[in-house]
A and B are shown apart, each in its own frame.
Chain A
């Protein structure tokens, strides 16, 4: 079944640790995104990629990095996790940047202690 897959589903980690959230899509979409969702706030864009080999900063990029080595994969790395990065993280993809439907992964719930 075509779609977008995130891993892990949930994770608890200690502050200061490095963490990578994985995201893979098999729809051959050009654009991919990482959002965080916190209670009472709208989805906030962390980083995005318009096409393989290119990435851009979103609204809240500090403390996060991404790479887009190929069309399918778009991992998000927290180099040194802090408690304020406790959130639900959604990966999404679309055929082109912010035009047309976004397809979301099931989310990764991250708790930083």
Chain B
């Protein structure tokens, strides 16, 4: 079956760096998304990777290894507003999105 695994919850300190991992098992692969979702709000797009490597976008970076079925989201210079859930989603060979349950990130002062 198809599956996405990511940690349920992580805690980090304001100003620090945190890495949120995501592993996927899908029938074929056509890219991987990261979304941010604040409590009680809609998910918003962060990144999309389809090729191996690191893509940087301001304080956020996303990495993909297709051979390992692995991605991570790296958040630098953490701010209190980064407290949110981070959703990983992989696109399979039929262009269906497979969603992880999300990682709740708690930022402490």
State the A residues within 8 Å of B (CB): 40-45, 90, 97-107
Does A45 lie within 8 Å of B101, measured CB to CB? no
Residues in A whose Cβ lies below 8 Å from that of B96: 45, 98
State the B residues within 8 Å of A (CB): 4, 30-31, 33, 35, 41-45, 48, 87, 89, 91, 95-102
Does A100 lie within 8 Å of B101, measured CB to CB? no
The listed residue (B41, B91, B102) touching A106 by CB distance below 8 A is B41
**Complex: how many Å from CA A55 to CA B30?**
22
**Complex: how many Å from CA A103 to CA B35?**
10
Does A42 lie within 8 Å of B48, measured CB to CB? no
**Complex: how many Å from CA A104 to CA B44?**
7
**Complex: how many Å from CA A41 to CA B87?**
11
Q: How far is the CB of B1 from chain A (nearest CB, A)?
A: 12
Q: How far is the CB of A64 from chain B (nearest CB, A)?
A: 18
Max chain B Cβ within 10 angstroms of own Cβ: one of A41, A100, A104: A104
Does A107 lie within 8 Å of B42, measured CB to CB? yes
Does A42 lie within 8 Å of B42, measured CB to CB? no
Residues in B whose Cβ lies below 8 Å from that of A97: 95
The listed residue (A98, A103, A106) touching B95 by CB distance below 8 A is A98
